[in-house]
Amino acid sequence: MLCELLIPAGFVLAIDQVSKKLMFERLGQLRPSRSDVGWKPRLRPLLNTTIALGLVRDRRALVILWGLAALGTIVSIFHAAVFHAWAARVGFGAALGGATSNLIDWLRLGAIVDFIDLRIWPVFNLADVFIVLGIGVVLWSVW
CB of 13 closer than 8 Å to CB of 101: yes
16 catalytically annotated: no
Of 16, 105, 114, 117, the active-site residue reads 114
Of 16, 105, 117, 128, the active-site residue reads 128
58 catalytically annotated: no
Amino acid at 137: V
Residue among 139, 137, 125, 138 at smallest CA distance from 51: 125
Tell me the catalytic residues: 114, 128
